[in-house]
Amino acid sequence: MQRKEIGGMACLVLAALIWGFAFVSQVQGMDSTTPLFFGTTRFTLGSISLIPLLWVRRSTIAEQERKRRETQGKPSITLGNGAIVAMPKWAGNPIVVSIICGIVLFTASTVQQYGILYSGSAGRSGFITALYIVMTPLLAFVILRRRVHLSVVISVAISVIGFYLLCVTDGFGSITLADMVLLFTAVLFAGHILVIDTFGRDMDPILLSFGQITTTAILSWIGSIIEGSIDWAGAAQSWIAIVYAGVCSAGVAYTLQVVGQQLVTPTRASVIMSLESFFSAVGGALLLGEIMTTRAYIGCALIFAGTILAQLPIDQLLHAVKCRQADVNRP
């Protein structure tokens, strides 16, 4: 394993840790602010926190972008069947890609915040959101025609059982609106991972992170103004939660994600980022005193197992076993 890949894995582990504990801040922030205005203050702080880093690295970023434009041809996407689809020239523009990533991130984070508002549980929200790890290869199959491995099929079944144990405590009527909102959030975050992997792999990570977070902040401001939910007094009451979610979760963690995804394959990156659900449960227990039933903990364990299994190369292992048996039986 190369040093760069190890460094990328470390970035993703740290991002997962920050995001996991950010669920606590997101729960606490709902005590005095609305989901949209919480996102507004959060991503505005995240954007501002990256400005000094952009200023320090401005020459390096400019040089990297110059080289990228000179060496990169017409943008293209390679599908799972080997077909190469040519993309319009704007698909390689960092500003356009940042806006696209920002739109997806704004949608995912806003929907997630509403789910957390209705749920009120950091641990439960974290584990349901973690289903994006299973959704990622499924979306890749539907959109990019990438092969779905046997491990994904099995992991989906395990995760569905885990979701049932966690959420369906008294018949299907016990599935709450928050559960369904958070499940949709998982689909949106899976789309965010694929967008970064498809369009942002060759771009400067700091520039891309700043662009997507700034886009999210602008959209959040527009939403808050339309909604009429700007409340500085309420935000002041939750300033600790907002600062952590803004500077650490938005500014630092999303930057670490972009850096990590450029150094680690999407499959391995997804596995590492699934640790977010574990850290959310730990944070909820330590900081909010959350306690779930044994049934719910079993459901969380199955969801976590499903997210890990979705990324294991079971097909390759089975093929290797068959080849080894064939060699042994060969006269």
Q: What is the DSSP string of 253-279?
A: IHHHHHHHHHHS-HHHHHHHHTHHHHH
Q: Which residue has the higher pLDDT, 74 or 146?
A: 146
Rounded to 5 degrees, what are φ and ψ at 302? -70, -40
Q: Which residue has the higher pLDDT, 207 or 292?
A: 207
Question: Does residue 142 have a pLDDT over 70?
Answer: yes
Considering the entire predicted model, what is its pTM? 0.75
Averaged over 67-93, what is the pLDDT?
66
Rounded to 5 degrees, what are φ and ψ at 213? -70, -40
| CA gyration radius, the chain | 21
Q: Could you tell me the pLDDT band of residue 40, with boundaries at 50, 70 and 90? A: very high
Q: At residue 155, what is the residue type?
A: S
d(CA 204, CA 313): 30
* pLDDT 10s digits, 107-124: 999 998 888 888 777 777
Contact 36/220 with Cβ under 8 angstroms?
A: yes
| Short-list 259, 267, 269, 247, CA closest to 209 | 259
Question: Does residue 287 have a pLDDT over 60?
Answer: yes
Q: Could you tell me the pLDDT band of residue 228, with boundaries at 50, 70 and 90? A: very high
Question: Does residue 78 have a pLDDT over 70?
Answer: no
